[in-house]
Each structure stands twice: as C-alpha cells, then as structure tokens.
Structure 1
C-alpha cells in the first residue's frame, strides 16, 4: 500500500495541536509518516509534540519565514509515496481517511486525489458551519480562483519534486500558486473523492476576516499572472456567490 507523509506546520499551537496529533495517530493506515515542523513556539507546543514522539516520525523547532517555508522544510524530509498537509488546528474526518486515500490512489494509478473540507468553530467543534466542496475544481477554473481544499489535497511525492517547492513570497495563496503550477506543468492524473476528508477550524490565516480575504484575492491574481494564466479580479470574485451557498447547504 502507498505510504502517506503528513506534514503539520505549527507555531504557538498548544491549544489545538494535540487533537491534530491524535487524529493522525488514530489513522487505520499501518504506515503513516507524520512530520511536525514548528516555527519556534514558546507556548508549550514543543512539549506537547514531544509527548507524542512515539507516533511522530520527524519533529524539529526553529524560526522560519512563514507557513510555506515550514511546509517546504517538511517536504525536504518526507519519504512517503504521497504528501498531505494537516494544519495544527485541523483533524481528519474519520480514522480511515488516509487508508482510503492510499487505496484509491494506488488502485486508480493517480498522481493527485482531493476531497472536501468541513469548517467548524473552535468553540463548537461538533457543529459544522460550512462545507468546502472541491467538486467545483477543474484545471480550467484556476483562472476563476478555484482550487481543491488544501488540507484535503494529496499529491504524489515525485510530482512535488518535479513541480518545485511552495513560494515563500506568498503569505496566504502559496498553496493556490502551487496548484496552478502543478496542473499547468505536470498534467497529473487526478480524481475528486466526494466526501469530507478534513474538519478544519475557522480563524486560520486564510479564513481570518475581510483583510485576509482581500490579501488572498490579490495573491491569487498575482499567482495566475506569474503562471501565465489570463484572469482579472472580477473573474476571481465571481466565485463568492457560490461560497455563500456553501454556508446555506452545510
């Protein structure tokens, strides 16, 4: 069976990271590599990760240049057949997620597999307030700002190496820019899995209010232009009515 490498980038995540660690440790897949890359936390995050050292394959803590720098450090050390990213305040939707992803990718000879993400509020973890459906993504919709939900995206490691690392000059849309490069340059074999794979906490850098939204859209526009994708801000903003419906259909 294909081996997953799961990378968790963390910084001052003491209040949430234990749930993420337990979520990976509880997966039914027999051979999960979990890499935790900490940005030099000072709130006890390091002690919590160390207490789970039997199930964490790689852990180190040092200052970094942001989340995409941390992700790149994880990519350099990952040895699995495919890569996934689980944020320090997110959890897998159930214990069989990675097993299901590995089996599907192997059976269908896929380069990329992606599914949905459900959002919850940190004070009400059992209440889903929005479902991000990755079904709407197609490579020809990148110009409209669409991408698969990043925590629900799994990519073969050799394709990551061919595509190159995340760009660290992006604050929020580095994952979008990578997806644009990946699908434009590699023409991967991909599949959408129509189910929730990750439960994601609201309030992260990409869901942190209108200032984050403005920055995200500016960076999405720059990512498209840097990769030769013709678009404009009106195209990118046109996806928001659909996002409103996600709240209503949760």
Structure 2
C-alpha cells in the first residue's frame, strides 16, 4: 500500500471532559503515518494541560484566541502537511483502532479526492442514540437534501488549496457549504466507506433552541443558493426529514 500521510485536526475549547478519549482513539490507530494537530481556543478548564500531557501523540499544538470553530479548523488545515486531511471533534472518537487504515485503503483503491463514511451518535457512556448511514453518493444527490456526516469527511489537502477553506460567513452551515462546494459544485471524485468510523457525542449548537435552528436554516439556504442547488427551498425541507431514519433501527 502507498504510504499515504493523514493529517488529523482537532479543535478544542473547554473540552477537558472529553479530549483525553479523543486523543486516545487517535493514539491507538494501527496506521501510524498520521500527523495529529490540535488547535485550542484559549481554554480555561484545563484542556490545554491535558493536551500537553499527551504531547508524544501530537505533532502540532497551539492555544490562542480565535474567531470561532471554523477559523480554528482553518488554522489546523493550513498547518497540515499530509496527503489527506480530516477533522476529529474534541467530543468525538474513532469507532475502532483500524479506522485510519480503512480510510487510507479506500482512498488508494478508489483513487478518490474525497471520502466519507457513517457515524453513530452516542451518549457519554457510549450508548448509541442515533445511526447516520450515509449511503452511496451520486451527482445531484445534494439537490434532495442529502449530505454526508462532516466528522467522517476526509479530503486531499490539495482540494483545500484549490477550492478554499471553511467560510465562516455561512455560520453553522460552514461545514455543509464546504462539502457542497467540493462534492456538488466542483464534482470531486468521491468514495463512500460503508462503515461506522466515528462515535459522535450527541449535541450541537445549531440544535439547541428554535432561534438557533432558524439561524441554521438561513445558513443552509445561503449555502444551497450559492452552490447551485436546483430547488433550495425543497432541499431545505428535505434535509431535516432525512434525519428521521437515524432514529429507527
């Protein structure tokens, strides 16, 4: 197998309760050509101390004020030197020790620009609450409210260099907009890894209350209209409806 270098970026802010589990899941990966980058937003709860205690597993760490989560993600991506870049949230962790090996094998086998997979939403004890099963991608699928789970999204670093980073003007939809831009608008070669690779802790700023949900819809709509979604109002309706299946089974 070609020795593909993977850059992982974790963004933290007051994540002392979860960051050790996240780091441990990276450290246990059987695939070793991994560059691990952590960008912290000046945490005040001991997060930075925990990260420093794990410095043997971390190739770059910076703690400083930022302009939000997507600004921090962009800082991490710009520091990356790997062939492929992915993000692992501070509250999340890999589903098993072979995730990166499987990602690399799929990239090589499919000569892909982008890979996405499946994830489980879990509670703090690891109990599965929801199951996000992405299914295969085909051109135009975004028009019908489809999107892959962002924590499973990996892209060649050259994609970020050519097509840009996360655009914070899209608010909570900045990750959705980037995936739209890469996959739908610019028609990158996409590979689906039909496996759960991330356990994602239940939550999210955009879903905390009705006002945040309305703001999130506006951000989604702006992302759709600026990335050539054929009927953005239809996509806006279908996008949340697709989540219903995550609670079944």
Verify same fold: TM over 0.5.
Answer: yes
Structure 2 residue aligned with 1:149? 149
Where 1:246 maps in the other structure, the secondary structure is helix
Other structure's SS at 2:140 match: helix
Task: Look up the SS of the partner of 2:216 in the other structure.
Answer: helix
The 5 A counterparts of 1:84-233 are 84-122=86-124, 125-135=125-135, 137-233=137-233
Number of matched residues?
Answer: 247
In structure 1, stretches of 5+ residues that fail to align are none
Q: Give the C-alpha shift of residue 107 in structure 1.
A: 2.3
Provide the rounded CA distance (Å) in 1 between the counterparts of 2:176 and 2:170. Answer: 10
Distance change in 2, residues 1:145/1:212 (3 Å): farther
Q: How far has the Cα of 1:173 moved from its partner?
A: 0.7
Give the TM-score of the pair, scaled to structure 1.
Answer: 0.93
Tell me by how many angstroms 1:94 deviates.
0.3
Counterparts of 1:207 and 1:80, CA distance in 2: 33
> In the alignment, what sits opposite 1:62?
64
Measured in 2, the distance between the counterparts of 1:30 and 1:203 equals 31
Is the 2:9–2:73 contact (alpha carbons within 8 Å) kept by the matching residues of 1? yes
Aligned-pair Cα RMSD in Å = 1.6
Q: TM-score, normalised by structure 2?
A: 0.93
